[in-house]
């Protein structure tokens, strides 16, 4: 049988459903360049993605095969030339990808070619009906599915038997961003890194994950995003060691399921009563947040890390998102887009879901009256100030205590930007505005479920 296997986010050889049957059948690995994704994705993600794609191409070649690279507009002509018995690809829950796949399925049906849709980007299948809370999703869907589903490993192909066809291919785009250089591009290096993490750090994950030191969390998210490591492997390895880690993987599935069922939430609040809320659209304040010049050390450190490395820990993602939406009252969509353009692990479902969760307008969201105090958060999760000093060079000489106290900070670092706001006033303003909005009824909350 001749099988075209379309590679999207699964840039690896091991534990990959796309390569099932590679030892018996002709497999034609195919990458299809999509203009929409090229426009949407930032350079950090694109750099990691295309480096990893090139690596995969080399690996496939070393096993005797060839990864064809074409543009979407050439797809039908490619199938016409290759004449596959079967085309397979993995499901994707982003609205644009679903539209793309519907078109693909239509065109395959027209051409009389069988197709197969596989699952790789979530651990569990999409539930037919959505869940409004994570706990319900976790207990009633995730855990039972995990017991039912086989999360064993797909065999790694020993060789590829790819038929040679003459077809005009495109060159893989060359993108290079400084930030992406920190990240591994080969699945072997990622696997090593994961093994070390499992051995030395995963047993302590529950206690370390909120701290801002290296290895307090796995830093696997960029590799999950590009499929350099499989979610099944992470889950298999973690099951016996850290329930908390498996629960975090469940959040990943939860947000994918939300986007699947509520595609409109990429731009609209999941809680319909929040729609129409008067978010601020102040470009000057937003710019200071983006540049890491708010005058709040932990916020600035995190935003500078994002700008330098294309990544930041979950804790600081929550702190800066809360600061933008609940202290500055700036539209969560602005923050979501900035993250999306800069994160090396940018993922629409995860990003939108988390932004709305922090802002208070998402499913199972943090209550709107819970507003992080960035100074207390820094004291708790960066108690020695190491994280702040690493990314805010102006503060490298400042005594630790001053990093959590704005009055002391002014004395020690007069050149550091003054605070963009007064925490107490901002907090009251946000709460008054949202209370009034919700009292007016917002747009009526519809029964979604």
Ligand X SMILES: Cc1cc2nc3c(=O)[nH]c(=O)nc-3n(C[C@H](O)[C@H](O)[C@H](O)COP(=O)(O)OP(=O)(O)OC[C@H]3O[C@@H](n4cnc5c(N)ncnc54)[C@H](O)[C@@H]3O)c2cc1C
Binding residues (CB under 6 A) for ligand X: these are 209, 217-221, 224-225, 248-249, 251-252, 255, 313-314, 317-318, 321, 339, 343, 345-347, 350-351, 354-355, 358
Shorter beta-carbon distance to ligand X: residue 149 or 214: 214
> Least Å distance between CB 419 and ligand X?
22
Shorter beta-carbon distance to ligand X: residue 87 or 303: 303
Closest CA to 313 of 326, 328, 303: 303
> Least Å distance between CB 51 and ligand X?
18
Shorter beta-carbon distance to ligand X: residue 218 or 266: 218
What DSSP assignment string belongs to 365-420? PPPTT----HHHHHHHHSTT-HHHHHH-GGGTTS-GGGGG-HHHHHHH-TTSPPPS
What DSSP assignment string belongs to 197-251? HHHHTGGGHHHHTTS-STTSS---HHHHHHTSS-HHHHHHHHHTT-HHHHHHHHH
Spatial CB neighbours of 314, under 8 Å, sequence gap ≥ 6: 209, 210, 217
Torsion of CA 183, 187, 189, 192, to 10 degrees: 120
CB-side exposure of 284: number of CA atoms within 13 Å?
2
Q: What is the C-alpha separation between 392 and 402, in angstroms, rounded?
A: 14
Where are the strands (E) in 95-180, listed by range?
Answer: 114-118
Shorter beta-carbon distance to ligand X: residue 346 or 409: 346
Shorter beta-carbon distance to ligand X: residue 85 or 149: 149
> Least Å distance between CB 229 and ligand X?
10
Q: What is the C-alpha separation between 396 and 375, in angstroms, rounded?
A: 17
Residues facing 2 on adjacent strands: 26
Shorter beta-carbon distance to ligand X: residue 78 or 245: 245
> Least Å distance between CB 315 and ligand X?
8
CA angle 186, 161, 151 (to 5 degrees): 55
User: β-pairing, 26-33 with 2-7?
Assistant: parallel
Shorter beta-carbon distance to ligand X: residue 52 or 249: 249
Which residue, chain included where needed, has tokens 């880690």? 245
Helices (H) and strands (E) in the chain, counts: 20, 5
> Least Å distance between CB 350 and ligand X?
4
Shorter beta-carbon distance to ligand X: residue 67 or 312: 312
Spatial CB neighbours of 163, under 8 Å, sequence gap ≥ 6: 2, 26, 28, 82
> Least Å distance between CB 163 and ligand X?
36
> Least Å distance between CB 424 and ligand X?
24
> Least Å distance between CB 319 and ligand X?
9
Shorter beta-carbon distance to ligand X: residue 30 or 212: 212
Residues facing 117 on adjacent strands: 89
Shorter beta-carbon distance to ligand X: residue 57 or 225: 225
> Least Å distance between CB 111 and ligand X?
35
Closest CA to 211 of 316, 354, 303, 307: 316
> Least Å distance between CB 220 and ligand X?
4
Q: What is the C-alpha separation between 33 and 74, in angstroms, rounded?
A: 10
What is the enclosing helix (H) or strand (E) of 152? Answer: none
């Amino acid at each position: 049988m001749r099988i075209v296997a379309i590679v999207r986010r699964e840039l690896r050889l091991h534990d990959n459903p796309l390569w099932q049957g590679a030892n018996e059948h002709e497999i034609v690995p195919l990458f299809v360049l999509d203009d929409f994704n090229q426009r949407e994705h930032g350079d950090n993600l694109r750099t990691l993605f295309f480096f990893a794609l090139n690596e995969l191409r080399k690996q496939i070649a070393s096993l005797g095969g060839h990864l064809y690279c074409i543009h979407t507009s050439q797809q039908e002509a490619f199938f016409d030339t290759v004449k596959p018995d079967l085309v397979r690809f993995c499901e994707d829950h982003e609205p644009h990808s679903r539209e793309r796949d519907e078109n693909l399925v239509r065109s395959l049906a027209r051409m009389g070619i069988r197709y197969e849709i596989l699952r790789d980007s979530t651990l569990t299948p999409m539930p037919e009906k959505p869940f409004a809370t994570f706990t319900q999703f976790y207990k009633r869907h995730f855990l039972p599915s995990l017991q039912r589903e086989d999360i064993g490993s797909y065999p790694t192909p020993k060789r590829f038997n790819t038929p040679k066809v003459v077809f005009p291919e495109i060159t893989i785009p060359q993108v290079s961003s400084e930030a992406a250089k920190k990240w591994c591009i080969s699945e072997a290096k990622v696997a090593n890194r994961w093994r070390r993490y499992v051995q030395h750090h995963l047993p302590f994950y529950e206690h370390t994950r909120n701290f801002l030191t290296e290895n307090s969390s796995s830093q696997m998210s960029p590799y999950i995003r590009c499929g350099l490591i499989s979610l099944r492997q992470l889950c298999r390895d973690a099951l016996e060691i850290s329930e908390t880690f498996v629960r975090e993987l469940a959040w990943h599935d939860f947000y994918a399921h939300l986007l699947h069922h509520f595609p409109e939430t990429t731009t609209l609040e999941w809680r319909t009563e929040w729609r129409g809320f008067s978010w601020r659209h102040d470009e000057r304040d937003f710019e200071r947040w983006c540049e890491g010049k708010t005058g709040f050390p932990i916020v600035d450190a995190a935003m500078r890390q994002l700008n330098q490395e294309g990544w930041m820990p979950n804790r600081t993602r929550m702190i800066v998102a809360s600061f933008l939406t609940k202290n500055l009252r700036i539209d969560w969509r602005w923050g979501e887009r900035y993250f999306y353009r800069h994160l090396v692990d940018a993922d629409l479902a995860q990003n939108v879901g988390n932004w709305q969760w922090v802002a208070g307008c998402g499913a199972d969201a943090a209550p709107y009256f819970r507003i992080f105090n960035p100074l207390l958060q820094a004291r708790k999760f960066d108690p020695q100030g190491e994280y702040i000093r690493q990314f805010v060079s102006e503060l490298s000489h400042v005594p630790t205590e001053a990093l959590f106290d704005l009055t002391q900070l002014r004395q020690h670092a007069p050149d550091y930007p003054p605070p963009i706001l007064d925490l107490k006033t901002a907090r009251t303003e946000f709460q008054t505005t949202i209370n009034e909005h919700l009292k007016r009824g917002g747009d009526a909350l519809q029964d979604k479920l």
